[in-house]
Amino acid sequence: TLTAQPFPEGFLWGGATAANQLEGAWNVDGKGPSIQDVMPHGIMTPPTDEPTPDNLKLEGIDFYHRYRDDIALFAEMGFTVFRFSIAWSRIFPQGDETEPNEAGLAFYDRVLDECEKHGMEPLVTISHYETPLHLAKAYDGWTNRELIGCYERYARTLFERYGQRVKYWLTFNEINSVLHAPLMSGGIWTPKKQLTKTQLYQAIHNELVASASATKIAREVAPQAKIGCMILAMPTYPLTPDPDDVWAARLAEHDSYAFGDIHVRGAYPGYYLRKLREEGIELEITDADREVLTNTVDFVSFSYYMSVCETADPAKRIVGEGNLLGGAKNPTLPVSEWGWAIDPVGLRIVLNDFWERWQLPLFIVENGLGAADVLTEIDGVPTVDDGYRTAYLREHLVQVREAIADGVDLLGYTWWGPIDLVSASTAQLSKRYGFIYVDRNDDGSGTLERYRKKSFYDYQEIIASNGACL
Ligand code: BG6
């Protein structure tokens, strides 16, 4: 039986978004194209050469023009934190310029004005799956060391401009996902199948150096800023008690842990160096890189959607269809309509593991349920009767509460997609996460009107009671 423990005072409650899934206005006010503008169908389909009209992200949900009203709706739910990303190509349209685009910077000033108006702490992701297209095509993204300098210029620009207004920063969204989605996560134009391991791991190294370098810059330019890494967390359970399966699960977890270990401890762990050695991966790592990596983070943030299983026996490996990063399907868990395993206890496990491993404050910056909502009317007002979303929310928050009682130091919780937006993996709008319904369909039709779902009021109540009503 679970014991009720209060959430700490000042616990940050809110929602998380990303520019490319939300803003639209893809070529407005000097914005250059990003890789997302040529990924009309998500991560499973190759990119197009130029932006094509079938890409829902080009218009997103038009947050670029509706941000005031949308942030007011977040405030109505009681948000005390709003996570958003800055579209890199609004600030540096090609990515390799030396001077930023003032109109792009001004947009985020206006977004921050609204956050301040409503007493909402901004939580800003510097790079969320939206590398400028030019950096992908001309440099092959993060495989190229040149990107470190481009990113440093971009990060310095942001810290100088917003450093007084933004306390919490994340350097790269789900930095470990480059292992699985090299274009979306690493801006790498070379198709995944043709990419060598050396190229991929060099890209990882370059991103890790850039991330630590951003921390170093923030220490100079905005010393009060708190810098976090951001990891796609997916606890991996052994499929059976066979020790070989237990070890297979551990090895799979090392793939993600390495990113946290390097950000928190400032150096490559032994198991990672062994992997590089055994797989014949020789990286260019300079002494200066090693020095930069010692600029470690203030907190660790992560997304959590699902757990998976792992086994040493390929014959037992039934890969679950929506299990983003592979792994074996867990026969004990239900799955979402998109096949993602639903595992609230897994969130408690992640929180405890990360806290015990790193002893730094944690931040859950994504968790949520994508579902095919049906719009209905109650008393003549359009809404969605989404009890399943509230159930998911509550079940996960109960485990968060337990983890806090276990002693985990947790800064806050931001639900992924508090307003319906375009899916990252499938580019659909019909994979809805929001507490707010957006009238837009996968074929691009719809008025873009916003409607409060039932879960809007449930989350409002949870926040108002600081989690006591769970
Ligand atoms: C995370 C990403 O992987 O999961 C988000 O950081 C993404 O950008 C979210 O939207 C949910 O995934 P999807 O594919 O359902 O949009």
Strands (E), 305-449: 308-310, 362-366, 376-378, 381-383, 410-416, 436-438
What's the gap in Å between 270 CA and the centre of ligand 1? 31
For the CA of 423, the closest atom of ligand 1 is 16
Are the CB atoms for 103 and 29 separated by under 8 Å? yes
Express each pLDDT in 312-326 by its tens digit: 987 777 655 444 556
For the CA of 340, the closest atom of ligand 1 is 15
pLDDT at residue number 324? 54
User: Is the Cβ atom of 416 under 6 angstroms away from ligand 1?
Assistant: yes
Quick one: 12-464 is in which CATH superfamily? Glycosidases (3.20.20.80)
Residue nearest atom 5 of ligand 1, based on CA coordinates: 424
What's the gap in Å between 241 CA and the centre of ligand 1? 32
Residue nearest atom 7 of ligand 1, based on CA coordinates: 424
Per-residue DSSP letters for 165-198? T--EEEEETTGGGGGT-HHHHH---S-GGG--HH
- Write out the two tokens for 133: 């297209």
Express each pLDDT in 252-287 by its tens digit: 999 999 999 999 999 999 999 999 999 999 999 999
**SS3 at position 331:** coil
The H or E element spanning position 302 is: strand 299-304
Instruction: Give the Cβ contact number of residue 151 at 10 Å.
Output: 27
What residues does each domain of the chain span?
A: 12-464
Q: What ipTM describes this predicted complex?
A: 0.99
Strand partners, 438: 450
**What is the pTM for the complete model shown?**
0.97
Low-confidence ranges of the chain (pLDDT < 50): 1, 321-323
CA dihedral 386, 389, 391, 396 (to 10 degrees): -170
User: Is the Cβ atom of 7 under 6 angstroms away from ligand 1?
Assistant: no
> Which residues participate in catalysis according to the annotation?
366
- Write out the two tokens for 174: 């789900």
- Write out the two tokens for 406: 């276990």
- Write out the two tokens for 150: 């481009």
